[in-house]
Amino acid sequence: MELVKLSDRIFYLPPEEVNDRPVLGYVNGDRYSLAIDGGNSDKHVEKFYEELKKANLRLPDYTVITHWHWDHTFGMHAVLGKTIAGKPTNNKLKEVMTWKWSDEDMQNRLNTGEDIEMCDRCIKVEYPDREEIKVTTADIELNGSLKIDLGGVSCVITEFVAPHSEDSVLVYVPEEKTVFVGDAGCEDFYYNNGKYDKDKLEAFIESLKEIDFDTYVWGHDVPEAKESVISYFVEALEELK
């Protein structure tokens, strides 16, 4: 996968399905740079950094975590600079840090519902040797909202209600009218049987409507225009009513 340029300021590494690698975003400021999501392993992070170097882009000074799921966080130990996450994300990562990774332990988590089959399967693809799994918490803990001036461009990092995970965080780049949301617009596979929660989806749609953006960057798909993505979510909401 090669780095994709959305503008002079915005880049992303596309997702990979077989091992559930998500989009890794990048915002290029004059003084600092910021990445979105920590990847699912050190190898994922290394690939991202290789592509940034090829494009003559500075490696990230900050990395924002959109939510706790393994594919967005298991590479955090390998990122440069400071990591930023909401308190609920850090709390969940502290729990995941206690998990063990034998076949028996992983099967037990499937049995109890602590983990889900897709993640179990993809973790085994990304980690042939599961002793290499390293889980860590973020350096900086977000409480509500934070704005970072990168120089010529800024990022507004905000906790918000979303259907996919209780700890969702978005990164809004106002100068570029771009929003990175991770998997926030997807269904909840951990606590709602892979379905949308109507109230959370409705709150999520209202939040998006209030943000002045043109480009919506999905966690596992190609970016999409605001009008198109809101229409998609509104249609999904109507099906729940």
Query: What total number of domains does the chain contain?
Result: 1
pLDDT in tens, 96-112: 999 999 999 999 999 99
CA separation for the pair 138, 124 (Å, rounded): 24
pLDDT in tens, 115-173: 999 999 999 999 999 999 999 999 999 999 999 999 999 999 999 999 999 999 999 99
**What is the CATH number for 166?**
3.60.15.10
**Dihedral, 125, 13, 174, 68 alpha carbons, nearest 10:** 10
Give this prediction's pTM: 0.96
The domain of 108 spans 4-240
Q: List C-alpha distances in Å: 91 to 98, 130, 150, 201.
A: 12, 22, 28, 24
Residue 153 C-beta-side C-alpha neighbours within 13 Å: 20
